[in-house]
Structure 1
Amino acid sequence: MSLSFSISAQVTTSPKAKSDFWKKVQFGGGFGLGFGSGFTNISLAPSSIYNANQYISIGLGVQYSYLKQKNVFASNMYGGSIIALFNPIQEIQLSAELEQLRVNVDYKGLSSISNDFWNTGLFVGAGYRMENITIGARYNVLFDNDKGVYGDALMPFLRVLF
């Protein structure tokens, strides 16, 4: 009669799987400078987009703008946005964007007046896409001609992502 025991242990270490999250993130945005006779316009609007798959992307953006007309007004605008992109086919990009801006305006003249308010925009858009570049137009469905920061509800756009 015999009795035997067998014990074995094996420790396996597998390499930690790297997340592919950052491989699906693209960065872009806008930068603008405008100068003229007593006029200054400076804007910065970086954004990042996460490509969930080949059809759907979501992202965030921030924005700052400084606008001044000498002896007339000076304005600061800052805020953020959430954007969703849908690519039904490779060449077409549809978008929806919710933008919230804080606007501070100081009017100059015989009496100085300050106006501080929130401006909300809800944009729907469509564009033609060529790899990382999309050119198209977007429409602000919350546009009010008497209020807000934009001169028109329909605006062209050029989106470049890296």
Structure 2
Amino acid sequence: MKNLESILRNYSLFIIVFCFFTLQLTAQESTYSNKSDFWSHVRFGGGIGLSFGNNFFSGTLAPSAIYQFNQQFALGVGLSGTYNAQKYYYKSTVLGGSIIGLFNPINEVQISAEFEENNVNINWDSRTGLANQNYWYPSLFLGVGYHTRNVTVGIRYDVLYNNKKSTYADPWMPFIRVYF
């Protein structure tokens, strides 16, 4: 019961933040006299990942969109889905969403903060003797990168990292971020 309360609390927080962001976008849109002006500030991007070898497969699809308020500030949302499988060991799916804020104090430097909430579902092979797992896991990434045109290359750190539950191997992660 305690685990269910924790899941509902995390899920409720995500829904509240998402609704707040949606209301902010709606408020921003209503201030424009021309709808096409709103969409001229929206940029789309995301990530694709593929890894395989020695009876292992991993695939990720993570689309995202940001609203560019001005040259310095942007705010956006993203979705992500990952499937992993190690033959005779486990299969897992990780589904989630994120909210990201971007700040460019100067054109070449981008500072980011991203909150991500993922549902992790791990199905262990019966030969391992491990119980299947399903849980929610939050991440809060703070990052910095070199920005040029629509590409940013940098590093980010998960301040909520837990090596026993995280979906990532390390709290430090390099990234390449592209928005069109």
Report TM bin, short chain: 0.7 to 0.9
1:147, distance to aligned residue in structure 2 (A) = 2.0
1:145, distance to aligned residue in structure 2 (A) = 1.7
1:110, distance to aligned residue in structure 2 (A) = 4.5
* Alpha-carbon separation, structure 1, partners of 2:158 and 2:78: 17
Task: Specify the alignment match of 1:11 in structure 2.
Answer: none
* Alpha-carbon separation, structure 2, partners of 1:17 and 1:104: 44
Q: Quick one: which of 71, 86, 89 aligns to 2:103?
A: 86
Task: Specify the alignment match of 1:9 in structure 2.
Answer: none
In structure 2, stretches of 5+ residues that fail to align are: 1-32
Q: In the alignment, residue 79 of structure 1 is paired with which amino acid?
A: G
* Alpha-carbon separation, structure 1, partners of 2:71 and 2:119: 34
Which structure: larger Rg? 1
Q: In the alignment, residue 154 of structure 1 is paired with which amino acid?
A: W
Q: Which runs of 4+ in 1 moved over 6 A?
A: none
1:107, distance to aligned residue in structure 2 (A) = 1.2
Same amino acid, percent of matched pairs: 48
How high is the TM-score relative to the length of structure 1?
0.87
Task: Show CA shifts across 1:80-130 (max 9, x none).
Answer: 000000000100000000000000001112435200010100000000001
Q: Quick one: which of 67, 78, 88 aligns to 1:61?
A: 78
Task: Specify the alignment match of 1:35 in structure 2.
Answer: 52
Counterparts in 2 of 1:71 and 1:130: CA distance versus 1, 3 Å: same
Q: Quick one: which of 129, 134, 143 aligns to 1:111?
A: 129
Task: Specify the alignment match of 2:40 in structure 1.
Answer: 23
* Alpha-carbon separation, structure 2, partners of 1:81 and 1:110: 33
Task: Specify the alignment match of 1:122 in structure 2.
Answer: 140
SS at match of 1:150: coil
Task: Show CA shifts across 1:16-45 (max 9, x none).
Answer: 745411101110001112221211111100
SS at match of 1:113: coil
Task: Specify the alignment match of 1:99 in structure 2.
Answer: 116
Q: Quick one: which of 49, 54, 57 aligns to 2:66?
A: 49
In structure 1, stretches of 5+ residues that fail to align are: 1-15
How high is the TM-score relative to the length of structure 2?
0.78
CA-based RMSD of the aligned residues comes to 1.2
Point out the structure with the larger strand share. 1
Q: In the alignment, residue 90 of structure 1 is paired with which amino acid?
A: N
SS at match of 2:40: helix
Q: Point out the more displaced range, 123-132 or 33-42.
A: 33-42
1:67, distance to aligned residue in structure 2 (A) = 0.2
